[in-house]
Amino acid sequence: MADSTPSPAATATKAVSIVEVSPRDGLQNEAGFIETADKLALIGQLIGMGARRIEVASFVNPRRVPQMADAEAVVAGLPPAPGVRFIGLCLNERGVARAIAALDSARPLDEAGCVLVASNSFGFINQGQSVTDGIAANRAMLKQARDAGLFAQVTISAAFGCPYEGPVPAERIVELASRMADAGAQEIALADTIGVAVPDQVRALTTQVIAAIAPVPIRLHLHDTRGLAPANAWAGYEAGCRTFDSALGGLGGCPFAPGAAGNVGTEELLYLFGRSGIATGYDLETALAANRWFSGVMGRPLPSRTGKAGDFVARPLPTGAKP
């Protein structure tokens, strides 16, 4: 019988990268302020799980997003972590300037994550700008970030549906992704901000965008509002995406997107890809332990289903039972 063990080359081809967003997107919608020390402890837990790219803060107006008021303090407190890249989210040029200023801290940021909203209505609510304005702003932000030595990436928000306008045409997303690639984006993420996508839609749009912007890599940012985020991640994987955002415990939500639930849980993706023989670089058991620890910090169970159920393991038969 032939050896069915995959070769190292095949394993590398199948591997995925998971960007952990719980310190930013996971916490931005929480009502009670999470202390800086707890955010830094969370980041330490994520590194222990195997995270190698972590979105740690958002440089936004603290009056609009109070949970991110300590962005500079979080960046200043980041631990030495060789091989780990830290990301700061920026919605405008002022945010990028703040991220650049944070480069003077003991542990600088590595990436600026810019945001382009795919609909006018959500764009005005989220960032006070139209799609056209957002294209111009992101061109300037990308240059500003790259000139400062930051890896500059863009997330196209509401790529699969807008909370105010409904479905967003796929052609618009392909055009926006192409414009951002031309503007110098080093990675482009498609965000299902309110969790309305279905697998066929994710598969089709991911395929189209990859074809339009290659060799610029694509990333998927999925929310689990309707329980379809793991299935959508798999559809994206089948279409060729190899980088996914997720949040420990499935935390998250957007203060400006009605009905948006949390991000796809990191534990969900680790179970999905791990059981499918696809390497993630994370350890599921360590992630489950981190889930239990952070549940204590938050004072409630976290939404992740795998976080509650755990890994799939055979259990001993009840006493006296026969197999």
Helix, strand, coil percentages for the chain (3-state, nearest 5) = 45, 15, 40
- H or E element at residue 154: strand 151-157
Phi, psi (rounded to 5 degrees) for 10: -65, -40
- H or E element at residue 139: helix 131-147
Residue indicated by tokens 């058991």: 285
- Coil vs helix vs strand at 213: helix
Dihedral sign, CA of 296, 301, 303, 307? positive
Beta-carbon contacts of residue 72 (< 8 Å; ≥ 6 apart): 57, 98, 101, 102, 105
Contact (Cβ atoms closer than 8 angstroms) between residue 78 and residue 56: yes
Q: What is the number of helices (H) and of strands (E) in the chain?
A: 12, 8
Q: Which residues are catalytic?
A: 254
Contact (Cβ atoms closer than 8 angstroms) between residue 48 and residue 84: no
Cα(57)–Cα(36) distance, rounded to whole angstroms? 11
